[in-house]
Amino acid sequence: MDHLRLGVNIDHVATVRNARGTDYPDPIRAAILAEEAGADGITAHLREDRRHISDADIDGLMAALTLPLNLEMAATEEMQAIALRHRPHAVCIVPEKREERTTEGGLEVAQDENRLAHFIAPLRDAGCRVSIFIAADPAQIEAAARIGAAVVELHTGAFCDLHAEGRIEARDAELDRLRKMATYAHDLGLEVHAGHGLAYDTVAPVAAFTELRELNIGHFLIGEALFLGLGPAIAEMRRRMDEARV
C-alpha cells in the first residue's frame, strides 16, 4: 500500500506554554523534532480565541519549516486573510465553537455550500490545498466535492470515544462507516485524510484504509511525549501506521 503521511499536530505544545505565559515549550522546536522523527507534515490550528497556537507561531512555522504546514482554521474572514498572507501548503477548514474543549464535530458543508464555495475559492487560487473536516456522512462528502475541495478529512473522534467507552459493537460500526466513506470520497475524486483522538490503540484499523493518504494526530502524541520523549512517541506512531499498511 502507499505511504500514509503523518501530520503531527503541535497545538498542545502551545497549550502547555500558554498555561504559564512563558515562551517555552516552543511549538516550532516541536515541529522540527517531529520532522526528524518521521512526520510528513505539521498541523496547527489557529483558533479564533488563540487559546494555543498564536499568530507569531504561524509566522515562525512558515519561516522555519521545511515540511508542509497544514493550517487548521474556521471559515471566517479573519482566518481567510491570515491564510492568504501565509499561503501554507494546506488549509483545513474546521467548525469552531468558542466554548468547546476541542473540535467536536465535522463541518456542516451541505447546509452552507454556497458560502463555503466562495470562501475556499481564493485559497485554492492562492495555491493552498483545501481540506474540509467532516463527519463520515455521504451528504457532507458530496457537498465537499461540489464546492471544489481537494481533500476531506474524516473525523475519527466518535470512533475513538466509542473505543475508550468499551462499546465494541458501536465502535466497529463507526469504523465500518469511516471505511466506506473513505472509499466513497476517494471515488468522487477527493483525497482522503482522517484524524482526531487517534492513539496507539486506535490508529491501526484506520491506517489500514486503502484510500487514506494522511492522518493528523496531536493530543495523544504530545501526552505520550511526557513519557517517551517527542521523537520516540512519533516514531512509534509511525511504526504502527506502517505496520497496518503491509
Binding site for ligand PXP (CB under 6 A): 9, 11, 45, 72, 92, 94, 102-103, 133, 153, 195-198, 216-220
By beta-carbon proximity to ligand PXP, the closer residue of 14 and 217 is 217
- Using only C-alpha atoms, the chain has a radius of gyration, in whole angstroms, of 17
**Cβ-based nearer residue to ligand PXP, 65 or 198:** 198
Q: At what angle do helices 219-228 and 230-244 cross, to 10 degrees?
A: 120
Q: How far is the CB of 106 from ligand PXP (least distance, A)?
A: 9
As a whole number of angstroms, the distance between CA 130 and CA 223 comes to 29
Identity of residue 69: L
Cell of 219: 493530543
Catalytic (active site) residue 12: no
The cell numbers describing 205, all together, are: 484499523
- DSSP annotation of 8 reads E
Q: In angstroms, what is the minimal distance from the CB of 157 to ligand PXP?
A: 7
186 catalytic? Reply is no
Count CB atoms within 10 A of the CB of residue 43.
28
Residue 45 forms beta bridges with which residues?
A: 72
Smallest separation (angstroms) from ligand PXP to the CB of 9: 4
The span from the CA of 72 to the CA of 95, in Å, is 10
Measured from the CB of residue 45, what is the shortest distance to ligand PXP in angstroms?
5
**45 included as an active-site residue:** yes
Nearer to ligand PXP, 205 or 218 (CB): 218
CB 91 within 8 A of CB 69: no
Question: Taking a C-beta distance cutoff of 8 angstroms, is the pair 58, 81 a contact?
Answer: no
In whole angstroms, the minimum distance from the beta carbon of 192 to ligand PXP comes to: 13
Of 35, 153, 196, 224, the active-site residue reads 196
Of 45, 52, 86, 193, catalytic: 45
CB closer to ligand PXP, 169 vs 194 = 194
Instruction: Name the residue nearer to ligand PXP (CB basis): 86 or 196.
Output: 196
* Terminal-residue alpha carbon distance, the chain: 7
12, 52, 72, 193: which is the annotated catalytic residue? 72
For the annotated catalytic residues, the residue numbers are 45, 72, 196
